[in-house]
Amino acid sequence: MSMMRFNYRSQMLGHYVDISIVYPTDNYSYYDIQKDRKGIHDESRPEARKPVYYPGMKFQTVYLIHGGGDDDTLTYRYTNAERYAQDNNVMLVTPNVTNSFGANTEFGIRYQDFLGEELPAVIQALFASSPKREDNFIMGYAMGGNVALATALMHQDKFSCCVDMSGGIGLTLDTKTLQDELRGDHFKNFLPIYNGTFGDPEKLPGSRHDLYKIAKEYQESGADLTKFFVVCGSDEFIRARVERDVELLTELGYDPEYIVADGYQHDFNLWEDYIRIALDKLLPLKRKTDF
């Protein structure tokens, strides 16, 4: 497996940003046994049966978004995501989006434009990432689940599938719920960046934060819809908020697949298992490269 940390200056964010990138390199060989004229490689070795690196090879790519309070490295320190990517022959990209909720904030930093526009362009230009819509997916857990949901809905031309795990904070299709959260004292007292990000709750309907409006307009356009998988633990405190998003996606004609993970709470026990399940089963991965 290959893992690197890429750092570059984002135009949308206005500062340098860290991105963890994983490649399934253990699945490939630098030599082609069929062209080994010198006979220096043993055909019986496992490496002889591996596909060979070629210039221009492209990987399917999963953008994996971390939770609130985390960074791009913690996902790989707390889960075996790197190994699951290796098993499924897929590239992972995890940007450090801090506690941004994946939004174009009211204080002027455009995290959503970074995620949906700039980051795919940079990754597909500089790395072996396929630009095809059917080869690009987005998933996340906790805050990252909502970020994945919002980014997929706002950029359905970029991502064919989305997996939202435990997305219970930030952007939601239920604009009234977000308004109520912003009007209350909890976030003002304990996480004031929440109100700073989304601004005046009275201005949310019809704004760039109105996910229901955005999802509805795209559905009515007749373009191909992103496939959504929504996962929530049976014992999660945010379950009602998650299920409301599922209800509204269904109402709009998106046909989400909702999975209740029995016995799980809002923690890495759930996210570890469902990162694996998403890569093994939920996402329509080819598990091979295109040449």
CB atoms within 10 A of CB 229: 20
Burial code (b: 16+ CB inside 10 Å, e: under 16) for 107-120 equals eebbbbbbbbbbbb
What are the structural domains of the chain? 2-35+42-178+207-282 (3.40.50.1820)
Q: Give the burial string for 132-165 (b: 16+ CB within 10 Å, else e).
A: eeebbbbbbbbbbbbbbbbbbbbbbebbbbbbbb
User: pLDDT-derived band of residue 50, with 50, 70 and 90 as boundaries?
Assistant: confident
Tell me the pLDDT tens digit for each residue of 140-157. 999 999 999 999 999 999
pLDDT tens digits, 52-81: 888 999 999 999 999 999 999 999 999 999
pTM of the model: 0.94
The DSSP secondary-structure symbol of 35 reads G
97-140 confidence digits (pLDDT tens): 999 999 999 999 999 999 999 999 999 999 999 999 999 999 99
Per-residue pLDDT band for 29 (boundaries 50, 70, 90) equals confident
Residue 161 has pLDDT above 60, yes or no: yes
Which residue type is seen at 137?
F
- Mean pLDDT, residues 36-51: 58
